[in-house]
């Protein structure tokens, strides 16, 4: 069983070929770093163009690196949501073209489910049910994964995701955004004192599992402004030693509180989850921010404290990638969840069930009463 996975939901154009037993045969990612630096975020139209330029090459390289051709595949898996519809369309269009030409079924994949399920490729002992924290640029989700395709959402962000807070803070601190704001801030924080700036931990008065990062983001901006660090025009590379230390202190203090917020919500979620499903053994942490070492270490403490095993994919599988799409495609394909190849006379540009806003599972509402 060979699956091609295609991912274009945000700013990375990615493809991979994965075998049914979880062996990764190829993995190709083309990032829009220059665009991100220039536009300060993902501009949908620009991102769409970049995907359209890259997609053919990325898919071809994934096939070449795996040493397979389209006719060896059993199906094509592609992200259909959530994400920017202009961007999703590029991947889906490509998947449909291949599926039509080579008569292959298509598996439409949920991007966040893929972030969660790739941990099952990494750790073969990871069975349902399990608890998952998915942290990235656009999402901050705590879900109880009951079975394939069945998730209950214990918590989500009421405003920004943690990745957005890392990215904005990094930009305001004048960091080099080429490799993404998150990694740059993590690096700088190593030089700083995490207790130097007193940031407030969000949402302590709310005894639930939701998150909020907009307020912390604002606190970072105010801390920068009140210290008169002119980060807009002076990048960290040309800052004075004293200025650099101040920025490092803000970075470290931000990271401490951002992750403390994660820890507090996860501790509660573990309690909720174990009440509902005492058989849970694993705590999965995935999504771009899960590639952060400080985040991993602190969430490992939470897992250990509660007798759970932390499963955190390697960084290249935490950030957006094609492997997670191919793997989730395999899981669904084996379960018989796929659609037949498009008819030969169907136009290529027909929209295939794009789901730009697609919640992962149902919301858990009794949670609040359980906690009280």
61-99 CB burial, b ≥16 within 10 A, e <16: ebbeebebeeeebbbbbbbbbbbbbbbbbbbbbbbbbbb
Minimum separation from the CB atom of position 253 to ligand ATP (A): 15
Q: Which of 152, 292, 332, 360 binds ligand ATP (CB under 6 A)?
A: 292
**Contact track, ligand ATP, 302-341, x by CB under 6 A:** -----------------xx---------------------
Instruction: Give the per-residue SS3 of 186-197.
Output: HHHHCCCCCCCC
Of 50 and 197, nearer to Fe ion (C-beta) is 50
Number of residues that bind ligand ATP (CB under 6 A): 23
Beta-bridged to residue 6, according to DSSP, are 15, 78
3-state helix, strand, coil in the chain (%, to 5): 45, 20, 35
Minimum separation from the CB atom of position 136 to ligand ATP (A): 3
Of 208 and 320, nearer to ligand ATP (C-beta) is 320
Q: Do residues 250 and 279 lie in contact, with contact meaning Cβ atoms separated by under 8 Å?
A: no
Of 100 and 231, nearer to ligand ATP (C-beta) is 231
The DSSP 8-state label assigned to residue 73 in this structure reads -
Structure tokens at 30: 């083309």
Q: Could you count the other beta carbons within 10 Å of the beta carbon of residue 356? A: 15
Q: Which of 91, 287, 313, 342 binds ligand ATP (CB under 6 A)?
A: 287
Of 136 and 255, nearer to Fe ion (C-beta) is 136
Minimum separation from the CB atom of position 88 to Fe ion (A): 12
Long-range contacts of 240-249 (CB under 8 A, 24+ apart): 244/191, 245/191, 245/192, 247/173, 247/174, 247/188, 247/192, 248/188, 248/189, 248/190, 248/191, 248/192, 248/193, 249/192, 249/193, 249/196, 249/197
- Site residues for Fe ion, window 80-99 (CB under 5 A)? none
Residues in the chain: 372
The DSSP 8-state label assigned to residue 288 in this structure reads G
Q: Which of 288, 313, 322, 329 binds ligand ATP (CB under 6 A)?
A: 288
- 320 binds Fe ion, rule: CB under 5 A: yes
Q: Could you give the C-alpha distances from 361 to 137, 142, 148, 216, in angstroms and in order?
A: 19, 11, 11, 28
- 255 binds Fe ion, rule: CB under 5 A: no
- 91 binds ligand ATP, rule: CB under 6 A: no
Of 138 and 342, nearer to ligand ATP (C-beta) is 138
Nearest to 55 by CA among 102, 10, 94: 94
Give the whole-angstrom CA distance, residue 76 versus residue 363: 30
Minimum separation from the CB atom of position 24 to ligand ATP (A): 18
- 136 binds Fe ion, rule: CB under 5 A: yes
- 181 binds ligand ATP, rule: CB under 6 A: yes
**Contact track, Fe ion, 279-318, x by CB under 5 A:** ----------------------------------------
Task: Candidates 50-58, 165-173, 301-309, 319-327: pick the segment binding Fe ion (CB under 5 A).
Answer: 319-327
Q: What residue ranges bind ligand ATP (CB under 6 A)? A: 9-10, 83, 111, 136-139, 163, 166-167, 180-183, 186, 287-289, 291-292, 319-320
Q: What residue ranges bind Fe ion (CB under 5 A)? A: 136, 320
């Amino acid at each position: 069983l060979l699956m091609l996975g295609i991912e274009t939901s945000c700013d990375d154009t990615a493809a991979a070929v994965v075998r049914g037993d979880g062996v990764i045969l190829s993995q190709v990612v083309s990032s829009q770093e220059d665009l991100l630096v220039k536009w300060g975020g993902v501009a949908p139209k620009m991102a769409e163009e970049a995907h359209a330029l890259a997609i053919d090459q990325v898919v071809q390289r994934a096939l070449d690196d795996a040493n397979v051709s389209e006719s060896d595949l059993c199906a094509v898996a592609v992200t259909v949501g959530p994400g920017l519809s202009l961007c999703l369309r590029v991947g889906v269009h490509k998947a449909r073209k291949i599926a039509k030409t080579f008569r292959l079924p298509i598996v439409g994949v949920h991007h966040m489910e893929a972030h969660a399920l790739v941990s099952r490729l990494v750790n073969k002992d990871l069975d349902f049910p399990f608890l998952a924290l998915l942290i990235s640029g656009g999402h901050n989700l705590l879900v109880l994964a009951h079975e394939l395709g069945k998730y209950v959402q214990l918590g989500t962000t009421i405003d920004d995701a943690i990745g957005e807070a890392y990215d904005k803070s990094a930009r305001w601190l004048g960091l080099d955004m080429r490799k993404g704001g998150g990694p740059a801030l993590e690096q700088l924080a190593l030089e700083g004192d995490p207790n130097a700036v007193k940031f407030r931990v969000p949402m302590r008065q709310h005894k639930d599992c939701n998150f909020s990062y907009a307020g912390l983001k604002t606190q970072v901006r105010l801390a920068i402004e009140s210290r008169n660090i002119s980060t807009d025009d002076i990048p960290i590379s040309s800052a004075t030693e004293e200025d650099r230390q101040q920025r490092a202190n803000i970075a470290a203090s931000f990271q401490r509180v951002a992750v403390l917020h994660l820890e507090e919500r996860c501790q509660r979620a573990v309690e909720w989850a174990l009440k509902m499903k005492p058989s849970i053994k694993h705590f999965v942490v995935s999504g771009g921010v899960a590639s952060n070492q400080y985040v991993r270490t602190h969430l490992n403490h939470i897992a250990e404290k509660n007798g759970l095993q932390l499963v955190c994919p390697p960084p290249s599988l935490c950030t957006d990638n094609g492997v997670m799409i191919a793997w989730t495609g395999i899981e669904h394909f084996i379960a018989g969840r796929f659609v037949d190849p498009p008819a030969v006379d169907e136009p290529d540009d027909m929209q295939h069930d794009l789901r730009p806003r697609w919640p992962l599972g149902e919301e858990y509402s009794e949670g609040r009463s359980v906690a009280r």
